[in-house]
Chains A and B, each alone.
Chain A
Amino acid sequence: MADELKLSHTSAMILQALGSGYVYGFSVMEVTGLPSGTVYPAMRRLERDGLIRSQWEKESIAASELRPARKYYKLTASGKATLEASRKRYPLLSKLVPETETQNA
């Protein structure tokens, strides 16, 4: 694809983490080892470019578990295609970020 978005290695790692089931900013930080000052701005750029989308968890669910609602991120169709292309560009990407248990199941 000629107009395919080429991601930096850091952005590709974040996209890979989100694709592997780490859907919160803090969990992406933990699995990639990247600092918060890198992860959150990168996720905003990915969202601006339409590769991921964010959504707030339902307040009722969070309140029933006595915790604050959390914003989670998911890959869009365009994000999945870009991740596939990034895996070809960075072959070690999938080894750097392990899949979550839910993703493996």
Chain B
Amino acid sequence: MSLLAVLHTPSLHLAILRGSAWLVPVGQRAEWLAEWQSELWYAWRELGDERDRRPELTGFCLGACRDALSIRRTAPLPRTWGSLQIEAAQVFPDLPSFGESRLLDSPLRCLVLLAILAAISALGALLRHGGPHLTAGFIPAVMLMFAPGWLVARVTTAMSLRDSPGARYGARLLAFFAAKMILMLAIAVFTVAFIATLDEKFVAIASQFFYWAAFLSTRWALLDQRQRCPVCLRRLGNTVSIGDRSKVFLEWHGTESMCLKGHGLLRVPENPEIGYHGQRWLQFDPFCAGLFRQL
């Protein structure tokens, strides 16, 4: 008899079953565990007397782990914040949803929201203006950090403005992007100025604050730009994943997003080296807009 055979005790088997039970959804867990414990009792009666066959019982219990995993895989997903938002959007279509950024869907609403935030941060900074910690050269010094922040964001964000679809809409897209960047810049400058007036020690690291503010705002503006329809500048929706990473030689894979006004489809390849380089905008015929209006 091997030493390992001694380890195959009922305690080990019960521990495997109880450990696996944690994988089973709560509603089914008690019955699942009762069934496996009952089956183990009968299995022990059949095989337990033969010490050499006890490893088979351990294998039997390990099957419970696989069973629990298969139940977990097929169980309906728990109600998450995301699913609740989708349900809420179906009941109240006009309700703004922060998780899915419906608030920023419309380009006008997006700019108005940014302008309000810029105004609030400017007001906060101006109310404390003239505090002991701010000098005349503070703002220009801080602004110097914008270039590296912008550069790092541009390099690390997989999107260039040149890739933006539809050359005929380029000016409009660029104007929208510039407006976003100016407002984000204003928010960042005034917020950093406000933080610097709070305490003297913040003045020394204000440029660091601004570097990160520039980086994050540029990154956000680029990513937001990527999700916009070039025709109406609204955010694209119904994003789906297409293709399979393991079948790159047979078909392209990436994501497709659709303009909910029916202007077109944006295809973003997962791997630019396969298929075509960069994202591609597929313009729908004008009659499609009529179809989308009926939805």
Contacts and interface: CB of A to CB of B under 8 A. Distances in A.
A41 B32 CA distance: 12
B113 to A, nearest CB: 47
Contacts of B41: 67-68
A98 interface: no
A38 B63 contact: yes
Interface string A59-99: 00000000111110000000000000000000000000000
Contacts of A68: 37-38, 41
Contact of B42 (A38, A41, A70): A70
B71 interface: yes
B42 A40 contact: no
A50 interface: no
A58 to B, nearest CB: 13
B24 to A, nearest CB: 11
A44 interface: yes
A71 B35 contact: yes
A12 B179 CA distance: 65
Contacts of A33: none
B10 to A, nearest CB: 13
A69 B60 CA distance: 19
B35 to A, nearest CB: 5
B226 to A, nearest CB: 41
A36 B42 contact: no
A33 B127 CA distance: 80
Contacts of A39: 63
Please report whether the interface of chain B is mostly helix, strand, loop or mixed according to DSSP: helix
Nearest to B67: A40
A37 B42 contact: no
Interface string A12-41: 000000000000111001100001111111
A36 B70 contact: no
B46 interface: yes
B39 interface: yes
A37 B63 contact: yes
B64 interface: yes
Contacts of B35: 25, 71
A67 B42 CA distance: 9
B62 interface: yes
B119 interface: no
B70 A44 contact: yes
A36 B67 contact: yes
Contacts of A67: 41-42
Interface string B154-184: 0000000000000000000000000000000
Contacts of A25: 35, 39
A69 B38 CA distance: 7
B60 A36 contact: yes
A79 B39 CA distance: 23
A36 B64 contact: yes
B242 interface: no
B71 A36 contact: no
13 contacts: A24-B42, A26-B39, A26-B46, A30-B46, A35-B63, A36-B61, A36-B63, A38-B66, A40-B64, A40-B67, A41-B67, A41-B70, A44-B67
Interface of B: 34-35, 37-39, 41-43, 46, 59-67, 70-71, 74
- Report the 9 A-B pairs with minimum CB-CB distance, sorted nearest first: A36-B63, A37-B63, A37-B66, A41-B70, A40-B67, A68-B38, A36-B60, A71-B35, A41-B67
Given A36-B66, A37-B67, A40-B67, 20 more contacts: A24-B39, A25-B35, A26-B39, A26-B43, A30-B46, A35-B63, A36-B61, A36-B63, A37-B62, A37-B63, A37-B66, A38-B63, A41-B66, A41-B70, A44-B67, A48-B74, A67-B41, A70-B39, A71-B34, A71-B35
